[in-house]
Amino acid sequence: MTHPLFDKHRARLDGAVAAIASRAYWSAFSEMPSPKVYGENAPDDGKRAFEAHLGKPFELGQPGQQGWHGGESSPYGIALGVSYPVCDPDALVAAGHVAMQGWQAVGADGRTGICLEILDRLNKQSFELAHAVMMTTGQGWMMAFQAGAPHAQDRGLEAVAYAWREQSFVPAETVWEKPQGKNPPLVMKKHFQIVGRGTALVIGCGTFPTWNTYPGLFAALATGNPVIVKAHSNAILPAAITVRTIRAVLAENGIDPNLVSLCVTDKRATTQALATHPAVKSVDFTGGNVFGQWLIDNARQAQVYAELAGVNNIVIESTDAYKAMLGNLAFTLSLYSGQMCTTSQALFVPAGGIDTDQGHKSYDEFCADLAAAVQRFLSKPEVAHAVLGAIQSADTAERIDVANSGALGKVVLASTKLDNPDFPAANVRTPVLLACDAADEKLYMEERFGPIAFIVKVADSAAAIALSERVVSTHGALTVGVYSTRQDVVDAMTEATWRSKVALSINLTGGVFVNQSAAYSDYHGTGGNPAANASYADSAFVANRFRVVQRRYHA
Amino acid sequence: MTHPLFDKHRARLDGAVAAIASRAYWSAFSEMPSPKVYGENAPDDGKRAFEAHLGKPFELGQPGQQGWHGGESSPYGIALGVSYPVCDPDALVAAGHVAMQGWQAVGADGRTGICLEILDRLNKQSFELAHAVMMTTGQGWMMAFQAGAPHAQDRGLEAVAYAWREQSFVPAETVWEKPQGKNPPLVMKKHFQIVGRGTALVIGCGTFPTWNTYPGLFAALATGNPVIVKAHSNAILPAAITVRTIRAVLAENGIDPNLVSLCVTDKRATTQALATHPAVKSVDFTGGNVFGQWLIDNARQAQVYAELAGVNNIVIESTDAYKAMLGNLAFTLSLYSGQMCTTSQALFVPAGGIDTDQGHKSYDEFCADLAAAVQRFLSKPEVAHAVLGAIQSADTAERIDVANSGALGKVVLASTKLDNPDFPAANVRTPVLLACDAADEKLYMEERFGPIAFIVKVADSAAAIALSERVVSTHGALTVGVYSTRQDVVDAMTEATWRSKVALSINLTGGVFVNQSAAYSDYHGTGGNPAANASYADSAFVANRFRVVQRRYHA
């Protein structure tokens, strides 16, 4: 009954299923870009594989091809020049629909086994994917490797584990025998067929083209659906590599590869038509509020799983590890130049300052100390470039300039432009820190994506917690934090997050950061505030992607 | 850690959880209205309890009461005269919101235990509930008892079992320990809090005021949400009895009873305002397409679980048990005068007739034989009244008159009005059978709720299967059936239902009917065609009704 690939990868699946149950640490894919783990030649082979794509058309063999399109611009300033097949969206939908039948027939075990094989193959391409992610997104190398490859693969596997667990609850068949007193029982044979809802559209973002795409992609695929990946116009290559590998593994296993395809277009109208196509039954989206809300309002034939903008924030009341706290915050604000959906944007600090192990610090002292901590952290160029990466979009660069001008609040620390000797054309910018009052809501109470953070002066810690709750409830957030040595403050913040439904990090000072979430253990987004209506990952992320069709007859 | 009521009812919960996994026969509540099961005095006590409500205000002690409203009209023609508290919807929402905190604090085990206790108490009220259901809906006594009480309770328990299973996967806490090579591991303590999404609105229907209400009610309640039950204007009493019992059990267990309340109004605008209230996060609805679509279009702040209209149908190709097939169909078409969302409306019969164990039957012979079978089945008045019940609404009565007039197709069997000696004012009508051609789509291809069935002449069995698939895909259906002695026909029909996503009953001739679905085993609706976007019950029915809020700190 089971599929050879299901048996092959059974231990890995069991590990993932156990991990989502315990939520303890677990990972299937090594996050160290080490030849010892990935093979002696893996780094060089991966780099060459990436370079081999440059300046060439990227063949996928998809139906309905009408031309080629590329135009990705690397934040590191290198020439990419890859072009991708532009295919008639209706042809992709139609071909996926045809392929769905064989995918359904292979059953949940078969789909799970093939998904696990795909992830294994993608893992072997981690260096190639890491270069593609780095050069299209502007991430630093280590982040591009980790978030772009093994961590994304873990998030994909996590979704497969949830999907398999839910599908495994549906028995293939049963005998239903109802007693009838002295008469013979009523006996019915019943069969239960798992069927996918229909075509899944997965719309990627420009900053995390694999990490934010794999959960929806693998959740939809594992539950029996055709998938069309609509890559972000500036981060196509990581998606294209992924889709090509998926199509290869499908074909090797007797599944029509048109089950999964890449949609490349520079026309918003094409994406809109696809998102509202009657055959499209789910849309996974990571991106801005405007298009996200458009999808929710218009793609009514589909279930929309959306991660949108938010205003992540931290309440800082007191600490017994001032220096470590500042260091932790400096790292968070600097990592990938704050271009993470989980980066803190607003730090709420009492007007009366905070108690620390280094004495009381006034609001102004905290501002100065945090600025100094960021500067200190980024003082070595090699560290700065590794951590900051490059600015992904012109919009973000413009926002930094506006913040630097003082238009968004008093500049506590100005963003500076750094020169990256390896990539002279890279646009590298350090964080800008702004000071403002809690009353200046229009400054800090909307997402200003990028390395722009506000140190917001709040009346007191109770007001800070209330403000955090209001910001999350009305504008959304993926992460909040609190620093306090007082249990009553931590408890009040905890209860606030239960109401506003946001993940809380408490007194982070060591090697874990508020903007990081680990697969199998940390829920990425709760799905309960405006920043996201779904979570990576939980049962709700997979359970409504398939339906069960039963048949019954007298036995 | 566990709750006393969780321990008390643990065996019942385990039974339900095992049943949804095996989908074999299981029931927690006896469907026989027998004094041996329910107690010597249960029938009389239940009848008296029902009668004690008549002509009186039904006190609930809810907040924001502004007046009284009643006006239920019994299909059996008896005077009901119950009035119910009309409360300010905002007051109900606000009070439920306050109560939610204590409900969250009791945890999944506590909520599950209390829900099980509620169901146990409702079961003890089965006779009272059965009379209330019978007299408000027009169901016959046996159906009112079974569907109105134990079967509804089983569907409620089924939802609780799903909710508990999903919530039980979320650990309360974990220690996350990530190796760091030669360095000490990163160790984080994490806590995971289950929080309800927010107020649930459950909108009942006039024909099954408990069976179609309990799944959503208990799914929302068990997952931590306040619930407002908006009863159908003509079937308030069963909902009011239910809500009063729930409030009593909550109060006995230290939970603010305002967690669950009854909303009574005769103003559509009040229901619309409630459904679009920002605090309302889910809406469960059973009813017509117009209001259902309004909810889906407008209640965008909420997840809508909707069961709407459909065109249930049966393909009749051949049979080796002609008489038993006709008997099975006659029962289905007659039960509760076809006022079930699962009753077959269209029978697709090849123009060339069907092969049977009694020889070939032409299309016209089949029409005549089915008409005779219905007449024969209803020839004994006591059987007819027990099975037919009474017509629930004036709209349904009018539809029967229109059908009888010949305006909807050739009348094969006219509906007749029967006199019920026990209830002289009851509106009792036998089924009307109509003959039409497959091309007459406007006749049969919309739901005509009530005892109105079309015998549709189709070119051949392949055309019949294709037509069935198209009807289900475009207009929806909760049930389809097929009669055939040919495996290829059954297989083709099976595959059609996988595409159109509808439950299939094959060659039913014995004591199971296409319009019946058994809790724990039969999915009621697939959620995959226009007749319903959700199913009773599956993981998707519960998993998105709660969210998980985590917090973490260095251990």
- Model confidence over B63-101: pLDDT tens digits? 999 999 999 999 999 999 999 999 999 999 999 999 999
Q: Alpha-carbon distance B339 to B337, whole Å?
A: 5
3-state secondary structure of A67: strand
**CA B344 to CA B313: how far, in whole Å?**
5
Cβ within 8 Å of residue A125, ≥6 positions away: A46, A49, A149, A241, A245
Indicate yes or no: CB of A549 within 8 angstroms of CB of B197.
no
Mark whether B301 and B327 lie in a shared domain.
Answer: no
Q: Would residue A260 count as lying in a domain?
A: yes
Q: Which of A30, A168, A328, A512 to mutate: most B Cβ within 10 Å? A: A512
To test the contact with chain B by mutation, choose from A294, A501, A517 the residue with the greatest count of B C-beta atoms within 10 A, namely A501
Show residues of chain B in contact with A523, CB under 8 Å: 192, 548, 550
Interface residue of A36, A170, A178 to substitute, partner B, most B CBs within 10 Å: A178
User: What does the alpha-carbon distance between residue B303 and residue B500 come to, in Å, rounded to a whole number?
Assistant: 23
Adjacent-strand bridge partners of A311 = none
pLDDT at A359: 98
Domain shared by B280 and B400, yes or no: no
Taking contacts as CB-CB distances below 8 angstroms, the residues of chain A near B550 are: 503-504, 522-523
Closest by Cβ to B23, choosing from A174, A193, A195: A174
Residue B196 pLDDT exceeds 70: yes
Q: What share of chain B is helix, strand, coil (3-state, %, to 5)?
A: 45, 20, 35
Final residue before a domain boundary, out of A258, A279, A308: A308
| pLDDT score recorded for residue A1 | 62
**pLDDT of the residue at A266:** 82
B544 → closest Cβ in A176, A523, A540: A540
pLDDT under 70: residue ranges of chain A: 1
Task: Identify whether B336 is part of a domain.
Answer: yes
What stretches of A54-106 show up as alpha helix (H) in DSSP?
Answer: 89-105
A284, β-bridge pairs: A202, A305
In a domain, B530, yes or no: no
Amino acid at A514: V
Same domain? For A411 and A439 the reply is: yes
Total residue count of chain B as it appears in this document: 555
Give alpha helix (H) positions in B322-419: 322-334, 363-377, 381-388, 394-404
3-state SS record for A268-328: HHHHHHHHCCCCEEEEEEECCHHHHHHHHHHCCCCEEEEECCCCCEEEECECCCHHHHHHH
Size of chain A, expressed as the number of residues it contains? 555
Q: Is residue B517 included in any domain, yes or no?
A: no
Helix axes B487-500, B461-475, angle to 10 degrees: 20
Exposure b/e, A304-342, CB count within 10 A at least 16 = b: bbbbbbbbbbbbbbbbebbebbbbbbbbbbbbbbbbbbb
Closest residue to B539, CB basis, from A21, A169, A511: A169
At residue B266, the pLDDT reads: 82
Are the beta carbons of B551 and A497 separated by less than 8 Å? yes
Question: Residues A104, A105, A111, CA angle at the centre, nearest 5°?
Answer: 60
Give the Cα separation of B226 and A119 in Å (integer).
41
Q: Which helix (H) or strand (E) holds A156?
A: helix A150-168
In a domain, A513, yes or no: no
**Secondary structure of residue A524 in the 3-state scheme:** strand
- Considering CB atoms only, which of A526, A527, A551 is closest to B497? A551
CA dist., res. A300 & res. A278, Å (int): 9
The model's pTM is 0.97
Both tokens of B15, joined, read 């039974």
Tokens of A456: 């917001």
- Give A-chain residues touching B549 at CB under 8 angstroms: 497-498, 501-504, 526, 528
- Are B554 and A296 an interchain contact pair (Cβ–Cβ within 8 Å)? no
Domain match, B295 and B382 both:
no
Q: Is the CB of residue B168 less than 8 Å from the CB of residue B522? A: no
Query: Are A298 and A337 members of one domain?
Result: no
Interface test with B, best of A101, A165, A498 (most B CBs within 10 A): A498
Supply φ then ψ for residue B449, to 5 degrees.
Answer: -60, 135
Contacts of A186 in chain B (CB under 8 A): 510-512
CA nearest neighbour of B198 among B545, B551, B555: B545
B371 is written with which tokens? Answer: 């008409």
Number of H helices, E strands in chain B: 21, 21
Q: Give the three-class secondary structure for B212.
A: coil
Residue of A168, A190, A549 to mutate, testing the B interface (most B Cβ within 10 Å of its Cβ): A549
| β-sheet bridge partners, residue A190 | A174, A552
Residues A266, A401 within the same domain = no
Closest CA to B93 of B359, B301, B381, B234: B301
CATH number, domain of A430, equals 3.40.309.10
Distance in angstroms between the alpha carbons of the first and the last residue of chain B: 23
**Rounded CA gap, A501 and A504, in Å?**
9
Range B283-307 burial, b when 16+ CB lie within 10 A, else e? bbbbbebebbebbbeebeebbbbbb
Chain B's closest residue to A167, CA to CA, is B539
* Residue B290 in tokens: 């117009």
Q: Check whether residue A125 and residue A208 sit in a common domain.
A: yes
Contacts of A502 in chain B (CB under 8 A): 549
Closest CB from A498, A523, A547 relative to B195: A498
Q: CA of B504, closest CA in chain A: separation in Å?
A: 4
| The domain boundary residue, chosen from A506, A527, A548 | A506
Is the predicted pLDDT of residue B348 greater than 70, yes or no?
yes
At residue B290, what is the residue type? Answer: V
**Alpha helices in B138-190, H assignment, sequence order:** 141-148, 150-168
Which tokens hold the place of B528?
A: 């995959």
The rounded distance, in Å, linking the Cα atoms of A96 and A200 is: 10
At A444, give phi and psi (nearest 5°): -105, -10
Contact yes or no for B504 and A550 at CB 8 A: yes
Q: Return the structure tokens found at A368.
A: 């100065």
**CA nearest to A387, candidates A32, A138, A210:** A138
pLDDT tier at B449, thresholds 50, 70, 90: very high
Q: Are residues A103 and A206 located together in one domain of the fold?
A: yes
What residue numbers bound the domain in which B335 lies? 313-506
DSSP β-bridge partners for residue B186 = B178
d(CA A246, CA B31): 52
In a domain, B216, yes or no: yes
Contact B526 A549 (CB under 8 A): yes
CA–CA gap between residue A260 and residue A6 (Å, rounded)? 20
Same domain (yes/no): A292, A368 = no
Residues near B350 by beta carbon (within 8 Å), at least 6 away in sequence: B317, B363, B457, B458, B459, B460, B461, B463, B464
Distance CA B168, CA B538 (A): 15
Q: Which of A263, A288, A308 is the last residue of a domain?
A: A308
pLDDT > 70? residue B289? yes
Is residue A531 within 8 A of residue A477, CB to CB? The reply is: yes
pLDDT at B333 > cutoff 80: yes
Rounded CA-CA distance A134/A147 in Å is 10
Instruction: Give the strand order in the sheet containing B503-506.
Output: A173-180, A183-196, A546-554, B503-506, B479-483, B313-316, B346-350, B452-458, B432-437, B410-413
What letter represents residue B455's amino acid?
I
Q: What is the ipTM of this complex?
A: 0.97
Cα separation, B26 vs A177, in Å, equals: 9
Q: What pLDDT, on the 0 to 100 scale, is given for residue B381? A: 95
Cβ contact B330:B344 at 8 Å: no
Q: What is the domain-level CATH number for residue B237?
A: 3.40.605.10
Structure tokens given for A471: 């910001």
Same domain, A362 and A295: no
Q: Looking at beta carbons, which residues of chain B come within 8 Å of A176?
A: 23-25, 518, 521
A535 Cβ partners below 8 Å, 6+ apart? A523, A524, A525, A526, A527, A541, B547, B548
Chain A residues near residue B176 by CB distance under 8 angstroms? 23-25, 518, 521
- CA-based nearest residue in chain A for residue B304: A303
Nearest CB to B539: which of A166, A296, A522? Answer: A166
In this complex, do B528 and A538 lie within 8 Å of one another by their Cβ atoms? no
DSSP H/E element including A184: strand A183-196
**Domain count for chain A:** 2
Q: DSSP state, B521?
A: T
Whether residue A374 is found in the same domain as residue A304: no
CA separation for the pair B236, A284 (Å, rounded): 41
At residue B2, the pLDDT reads: 83
The CA-atom distances, in angstroms, between B194 and each of A497, B164, B172, B523 are: 12, 12, 9, 27
Q: B391-424: per-residue pLDDT in tens? A: 999 999 999 999 999 999 999 999 999 999 999 9
Residues of B in contact with A540 (CB under 8 A): 540, 543-544
Contacts of residue B214, defined as CB under 8 A and 6 or more positions apart, other chains included, come to: B152, B153, B155, B156, B159, B242
Q: Which single residue is written with the structure tokens 């949108």?
A: A308
Distance from CA of B100 to the nearest CA of A (A): 10
Q: How many other CB atoms are found less than 10 A from the CB of residue A52?
A: 10
CB contact under 8 A, A538 and B548: yes
Does B496 reside within a domain? yes
Q: Are residues B459 and B481 in the same domain?
A: yes
CA distance A126 to A164: 25
Specify if A535 maps to a domain.
Answer: no
The strand pairing partners of A194, in sequence order, are A548
Backbone angles phi, psi at B211, to 5 degrees: -60, -40
Tell me what pLDDT residue B523 has. 98
